[in-house]
Structure 1
Amino acid sequence: MPLSPDLLLYLATRPWELGDLATWLGATANVATVILALAAALVGYRVYKVESGRDARAERERRERAADERRVQASLISVWYGRSAESTPLFGRSGWSAYNWGGWIVNASDSPVYDATLRFHRLSTPTSAAASWTNGVIRVVPPYRGELLVSVNGEAAPDDLTDDERNGDLEVSLLFRDAAGRRWLRDRRGYLHEKGTPPDLMATAMVLA
């Protein structure tokens, strides 16, 4: 907006109202200093954000590598419910045979795993309640020894377990300790979880699996 003629005439006849040159230069220098300081702060903030993001990514990658290294052996332990490859004779009679059903454990790592507790899980049905049970603890599962069968039959199995359930309608999970002493759970869906559970609470962890 242009200055009015009256204002220009007023300033021309009273130059002291504008201040001297030194005052104008000082004010200009102060404004420039503030602008430069703001620009430097903005640049510094952007550099800080870039460096912080880089550090955060490096720390995240380091943790992911550490987690992967911790899981190396545990990831090679498998468990599933199924039957034996071949049937076995029943009651010593010719022509009478059946397959063995149970939980199968495979240790495909280079080291043993310990205190392996396989838990069977029966889902709730209209005629039976959900249940879970174990048939003992395997103290050592050696590496590269093939498939280890834990039979579904045992003293802890429910009395009302049906043939259909025995022959394929059950699920299994496995709690074990790796060679480094860390405890792991392979749950009913096949997912692997590291457990911070002390030994006396292992059964509780298995029920929640």
Structure 2
Amino acid sequence: MTLHDMDLGDLPTWISAGVALAALIAVIRAASAAWRTLSLERARDEERQRSVDRAQADLVAAWPALANSDPFDPDSPVVWGVVVRNASALPIHQVSVDHLDSGVQSVRYEAIPPGDFLLVDREMYPRPEGVVPPRLPDNLPTREWTVELRFSDMAERRWHRDRRGNLVRIAPDPSES
């Protein structure tokens, strides 16, 4: 049997088969592009939702600061305290301010309204103007601890701001309920 003896069909059949194969390739490419676009849009939607979820929490922070032991008496001794800032328009709830040194000393509050607050010796005060006292002592007290903050936003999502300022959403802690 030679090549001339074989029936390879007519030219229109071959053209039709080629067009069908090209159409199949185009459909596969289009489906692949649609899948990539869908995946990209899902990722964007998830990122937008994370931004919405973090909106209030991003405006809450705490850090060590020098303060008068009695914030209303400028002549009281200078000590280390903690500034807690809730720059959101809504209160935060189930707040735990942790001083981390050789152990953990936690101060808990049911709610902290919007504003800046000063925590000195487990007492919370509205932050007076200028956290650093006007006269710094020659022998500044040493600080060998850091601050971490845990709280719930108004949507009852739990958050943890670590000693470096990183904000992470966490699972609810039943002991803090």
Identity of aligned residues (%): 27
Shift of 1:72: 0.6
Q: 1:150 to 1:33 in 2, by over 3 A?
A: farther
Aligned residue for 1:43? 26
Aligned residue for 1:158? none
Question: Does residue 1:173 correspond to 2:173, yes or no?
Answer: no
Aligned residue for 2:52? 69
Question: Does residue 1:148 correspond to 2:125, yes or no?
Answer: no
Aligned residue for 2:4? 18
Backbone CA RMSD of aligned residues: 3.0
Q: How high is the TM-score relative to the length of structure 2? A: 0.75
1:52-91 superposed matches below 5 A: 52-84=35-67, 86=68, 88=70
Q: 1:87 to 1:198 in 2, by over 3 A?
A: closer
For the residues of structure 2 that align with 1:105 and 1:150, how far apart are their CA atoms?
A: 11
Q: How high is the TM-score relative to the length of structure 1? A: 0.65
Unaligned runs of 5+ in 2: 124-138
Of the two structures, which has the highest relative contact order with CA contacts closer than 8 Å and spacing of 6 or more? 2
Corresponding residue pairs, total: 158
Asked whether the equivalents of residues 81 and 118 of structure 2 are also in contact (C-alpha less than 8 Å), the reply is no
Question: Does residue 1:111 correspond to 2:90, yes or no?
Answer: yes
Q: Letter of the aligned partner of 2:118 in structure 1?
A: L
Shift of 1:97: 4.4
Aligned residue for 1:120? 99
Aligned residue for 2:169? 194
Aligned residue for 1:131? 103
Asked whether the equivalents of residues 101 and 152 of structure 1 are also in contact (C-alpha less than 8 Å), the reply is no
Shift of 1:27: 5.2
The structure in which a higher percent of residues are strand is: 2
Unaligned runs of 5+ in 1: 1-10, 12-16, 90-95, 123-129, 154-163, 203-209
The structure in which a higher percent of residues are helix is: 1
